[in-house]
């Protein structure tokens, strides 16, 4: 009885081994040369993708800087209006004093030039 079980077990092991070898050959991956080439291509593709992602990040950074710059220009325009409004209050308080009128005129020109320069520099 034991010898029949040993032979039966040996046949099962041998059959399993042969089925495994056959299945491995049937579904084997590419040969070594093609496998290495495919791996190399995938690695190079990942490098290309990484480069493209970095380029997109750089573009996004530039766009964000523009947005921040535009916010700064808006702030500068608001401050300019606030400064001129304060000068107008002084004009009202001191009955349109000539010195204050000249100061307001000069300030208005100067502030406009600063904002125009900022807008040109942005481009």
* 73-116 confidence digits (pLDDT tens): 888 889 889 888 988 888 888 887 888 888 888 888 888 888 88
How far is residue 122 from each of residues 68, 70, 80, measured CA to CA in Å? 11, 8, 18
Question: Average of pLDDT values for 10-31?
Answer: 69
Sequence spans of domains, the chain = 1-29, 31-122
- Torsion angle of the four alpha carbons 32, 37, 39, 44, in this order, in degrees rounded to the nearest 10: 160
What is the C-alpha to C-alpha distance for residues 17 and 21, in angstroms, rounded to an integer?
Answer: 6
How far is residue 13 from each of residues 18, 59, 71, measured CA to CA in Å? 9, 62, 77
> What percentage of the chain carries pLDDT values higher than 70?
76
pLDDT at position 123, please? 62
What is the C-alpha to C-alpha distance for residues 119 and 111, in angstroms, rounded to an integer?
Answer: 12
* 5-20 confidence digits (pLDDT tens): 677 777 777 777 777 7
- What distance lies between CA 35 and its chain's CA centroid? 33
- Identify which has the larger pLDDT, 69 or 123: 69
pLDDT at position 98, please? 83
């Amino acid at each position: 009885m034991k010898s029949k079980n040993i032979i039966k077990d040996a046949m099962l092991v041998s059959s399993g081994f042969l089925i495994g070898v056959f299945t491995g050959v049937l579904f084997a991956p590419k040969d070594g040369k093609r496998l290495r080439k495919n791996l190399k291509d995938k690695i190079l593709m990942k490098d290309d993708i990484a480069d493209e992602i970095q380029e997109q990040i750089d573009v996004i950074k530039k766009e964000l800087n523009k947005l921040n710059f535009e916010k700064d220009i808006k702030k500068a325009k608001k401050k300019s209006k606030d400064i001129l409004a304060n000068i107008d209050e002084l004009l009202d308080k001191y009955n349109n004093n000539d010195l204050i009128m000249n100061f307001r005129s000069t300030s208005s020109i100067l502030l406009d030039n600063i904002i125009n320069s900022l807008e040109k520099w942005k481009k």
